[in-house]
Amino acid sequence: MEGEVQLGEVAEIIMGQSPPGETYNEHGDGLPFFQGVADFNYRHPTPRVFCTAPSRIAIPGDILLSVRAPIGRVNVADRQCAIGRGLAIIRPRVREDGRYLEFALRMLETTWTAIEGGGSVFGNATRRDLETLRVPWPESEWDRRAIAHILGTLDDKIELNRRMSETLEQMARALFKSWFVDFEPVRAKMEGRWRRGESLPGLPAHLYDPFPDRLVESELGEIPEGWPVGCVDDTFNITMGQSPPGTTYNEAGEGIPFYQGRADFKFRFPERRVFCTAPTRFAKAGDTLISVRAPVGDINMAFEDCAIGRGVAAARHKSGARSYTYYFMHGLADVFSRFEAEGTVFGSISKKDFHAIQCVVAPQSVIDAFERLCSPIDDSIERAERESRTLAAMRDALLPKLISRRATGERCGKVCR
């Protein structure tokens, strides 16, 4: 086709390589280490694991392409990082072509299905596959820059929304930790730092009375007086996922969104990729979603009613407190980590074990107060997500039109000026 090049002509291909397992850690030692799409976020991957002896290193601006199922997913390195064998580095030979190439590769995501073996999870792409991949390539440098600018403007707004939402979530998580983990309001009353009628940061004056003024010993350590120790089953409704027959899945939007595990999770809300026409287990919009198979304990929130497979559980406080449930489950990170099988990928948590997790049972009055403060924050995050999905739909509609017109030599100046 006119206006195409092989990827190897315009970019250097560097296949990932996984260093020894003992060089990995979750404490921030070494470089962030990314292994595949489970680490991908909207545009930049999220660090979860670090590596002290990286063997393949990406630099900021490098395109990261998944080479194991699902093949062809794209992210961009925003920092120096290490990559495992589930990824490849696509390094543009001309750095200024990086943004255009990112969009061109995104447009080609669906073309990798054949390599995946018609839906098999065992597909993989080789260096040769990448080097010979035909990419639409407008001959004019100006055209490539124009396309990148138009689509990049939409992408930048989506990324700004995500960063603002991350900041809002950090604020809410800090408040949850202060109230329900560190018990700061109780300590402030004990130490005379907070008195009736006064306000402190995160401690409005009208909330003085619901908090006790003593900590007492319990099997979980010091907890507020009058707050009993219970278990998750006492205060939350938990639905464990179940996977329907594979023949009921599709990527064409038929049925309802179906989430199977961590690979579907992104920041806050899972990514719509697979749908199901015969779901068996459901989550409602606003439910907290928890990965229950390795890695156990990743957290998302259902953006809409959806189906969940056996790698996911859905939770909601029995009072319906959406925000409290979400931040409570984040607070169980240390507990969830105990269910990871050491050195393997087979860690999981059963329904019985999930229900039996011990926790401090906060009074409903305090939960309601937290909900009043944090629900507006979560509403703002949801609005930003809705806007971002609209912008992404616009970008995806423009993407093939702009690239195909320019690659075939049509200037389409009215669109790009």
State the CATH number of the domain containing residue 283. 3.90.220.20
Q: What is the pLDDT of residues 144-169, one digit of tens each?
A: 999 999 999 999 999 999 999 999 99
Partner residues linked to 135 by β-bridges: 5
Domain boundary residue, one of 318, 340, 361? 361
Q: What's the whole-model pTM score?
A: 0.82
Q: What is the pLDDT of residues 201-257, one digit of tens each?
A: 888 999 999 999 999 999 999 999 999 999 999 999 999 999 888 888 888 889 999
Instruction: Please give the structure tokens belonging to residue 178.
Output: 């202060």
Q: What is the pLDDT of residues 378-399, one digit of tens each?
A: 999 999 999 999 999 999 899 8
Alpha carbon distance 62, 102 (integer Å): 9
> Looking at residues 158-181, what average pLDDT do you find?
95
Assigned domain for 189 exists: no
pLDDT of the residue at 414 = 43
Assigned domain for 68 exists: yes
**Which of the four pLDDT bands, split at 50, 70 and 90, describes residue 29?**
very high
Number of Cβ within a 10 Å radius of residue 352: 8
Instruction: Please give the structure tokens belonging to residue 314.
Output: 């859905």
Range of the domain at 77: 4-137
Say how many domains are in the chain: 2
Instruction: Please give the structure tokens belonging to residue 406.
Output: 């320019």
Secondary structure (3-state) at 299:
strand
Domain boundary residue, one of 137, 168, 189? 137
Q: Give the H/E segment covering residue 314.
A: strand 312-317
Alpha carbon distance 47, 63 (integer Å): 16
Say if residue 132 is in the same domain as residue 242.
no
CB of 240 closer than 8 Å to CB of 310 = yes
Distances (CA, A) of 118 to 57, 110, 121, 252: 31, 11, 9, 15
Domain boundary residue, one of 318, 344, 361? 361
Secondary structure (3-state) at 381:
helix
**Which of the four pLDDT bands, split at 50, 70 and 90, describes residue 342?**
very low
- 10 Å CB burial of residue 67 (0-12, 13-18, 19+) is buried
